[in-house]
Structure 1
Amino acid sequence: VEIKKIDVDQHMDLAEKFAIRVVPTLVIEKDGKIIQQMEGVTDAATLEKLLKPLVG
C-alpha cells in the first residue's frame, strides 16, 4: 500500500483525473481502479477500518 499526499493546486491534472472537488479527499486504488473515495476530514478509526484489509 502506498499513501501519497498531493497538492491539487499544483497538480490540477490529478484533481481532474480523480474528480476532486473537496479538500481533503482520500482516494484508494487497487490494481489501477478506484475502490474507495471519501471527501472531507476522516477520523483515525475510519482510516484504520478502510486500510487494515488492504495491508493484511
Structure 2
Amino acid sequence: MTHQDGPRREYCSSEDPDVVSSTGHAGDRNLVWAFSNHGIYELSTPLMGEPKNGLPQAK
C-alpha cells in the first residue's frame, strides 16, 4: 500500500521497535506509565516530586 508521502508503514511495525503506544499518569503516586512494543515502564521525574511507594495511609 502506498501513501502520497511514500509507502505506508504498519502501526507498531518492526521498523519502529521502540515506539511508545500510550502513556498513563498516576497523580496520587507521582508516576508515569509508558506502554511500548517491548513492555510497560513505570517512570518518575523530579518535576512531579518523589514517587510514593507502599500502601496508602488509612483514614
Output the TM-score relative to the length of structure 1.
0.20
Structure exhibiting the larger radius of gyration computed from Cα positions: 2
Q: Which has the higher helix share?
A: 1
With the length of structure 2 as denominator, give the TM-score of the two structures.
0.20
Greater strand content: 2
